[in-house]
Amino acid sequence: MFDTTYHRAASVADAAETAAKADDAAYLSGGQTLLPTMKQRLASPSDLVDLSQIAEMQGISVAGDTVTIGAGTPHADVAGSTDVQNAIPALAALAGNIGDPAVRARGTLGGSIANNDPAADYPAACLGLNATIVTNTRELAAADFFEGLFETALEEGEIVTAVRFPVPSRAAYAKFPNPASRYAMAGVMVAQTGDGVRVAVTGAGNDGVFRHEAMEAALGTNWSADALADVSTDADDMLSDMHGSAEYRAHLVGVMAKRAVESA
């Protein structure tokens, strides 16, 4: 790992200010993506601004039909929260299947969505549940936040501080994990929301997380796995790599979507 200068931020404002003063700063949350990347010398920030001790970015609250999760909340806390388990069980279950227990103890919601790995789980939850991403400067709909492979709408220095999830009437997430990495080969969040049926797919698309409109239309008229029998997924839009071809992933998306609907 290259040299770097570590700063522990006390507040969101302090973090933004420290990062702005540095040459080439990176925010550090759980470090479960950034540190492996730095160890491989694929990233070499001059400064690390640690967000993990910022109290205002921690914790989970439920008010009315909205679950708000601080961006610094580790996956294990989301998985173990009785509030999340009661309000959006699909979200608690999704968080409980990210990586392994040690990754879940440190990795955070904010770090995961800021990174926007095309095989990460949380982007499917945010897009599928129509979440609002709250940053230190603005609020964005999930649909406007995720912009392709590892790309988001975040500006230089912008910090994700929380995510607001509207409570769906029902939802479920089904994931086919890569047996080695545990990241999704295909992960599908299906939800009946105030905004209609939403289907968000991660792990499979060649442009990152996406909404599956044909599935949404089919489930909108008939909420059942059978309704998906004739809905196809275009292999031209899928990732193809050593773990699976585009055709394989296109098929997997259909299988995961059916499993999700059956368990919702």
Ligand X SMILES: Cc1cc2nc3c(=O)[nH]c(=O)nc-3n(C[C@H](O)[C@H](O)[C@H](O)COP(=O)(O)OP(=O)(O)OC[C@H]3O[C@@H](n4cnc5c(N)ncnc54)[C@H](O)[C@@H]3O)c2cc1C
Q: Which residues contact 149 (CB under 8 A, 6 or more apart)?
A: 116, 118, 206, 207, 208
Q: Minimal distance in Å, beta carbon 263 to ligand X?
A: 19
The CB-of-262 to ligand X minimum distance in angstroms stands at 22
**Which positions from 136 to 175 touch another protein by CB under 8 A, shown as an x/- string?**
----------------------------------------
Q: Does 103 bind ligand X (CB under 6 A)?
A: yes
List, as one string, the DSSP characters of 35-85.
HHHHHTTS---SEEEE-TT-GGG--EEEETTEEEEETT-BHHHHHH-HHHH
Distance CA 103, CA 40 (A): 18
Q: Does 79 bind ligand X (CB under 6 A)?
A: no
User: Residue 263, class by beta-carbon neighbours within 10 Å (0-12 exposed, 13-18 middle, 19+ buried)?
Assistant: middle
Q: Segment 145-174, which members bind ligand X (CB under 6 A)? A: 154, 159-160
Q: Which tokens is 1 given?
A: 């790992």
Stretch that binds ligand X, among 60-68, 77-85, 108-116, 164-172 (CB under 6 A): 108-116
Region 190-249 residues binding another protein, contact defined as CB under 8 A: none
Which of 15, 19, 28, 90 binds another protein (CB under 8 A)? It is 28
Rounded Cα gap, residues 218 and 221, in angstroms: 6
Show the site string, 226-255: x = touches ligand X by CB under 6 A, - = not: ------------------------------
103: buried, middle or exposed (CB in 10 Å: 19+, 13-18, 0-12)? middle
22, 26, 62, 105: which one binds another protein (CB under 8 A): 105
Phi-psi region of 224 (alpha: psi -120 to 50; beta: other; left: phi over 0): beta
112-131 residues near ligand X, rule: CB under 6 A: 112, 114-115, 117, 120-122
Options 8, 149, 192, 255; binder of another protein; rule CB under 8 A:
8
Contact region with another protein (CB under 8 A), list: 102-110, 195-203, 225-233, 242-250: 102-110
Contact 49, 130 (CB under 8 A): no
Give Dmax over CA atoms of the chain in angstroms.
57
Residues that bind another protein (CB under 8 A): 1-6, 8, 28, 31-32, 35-36, 38-40, 48, 50, 52, 76, 99-103, 105-106, 180-182
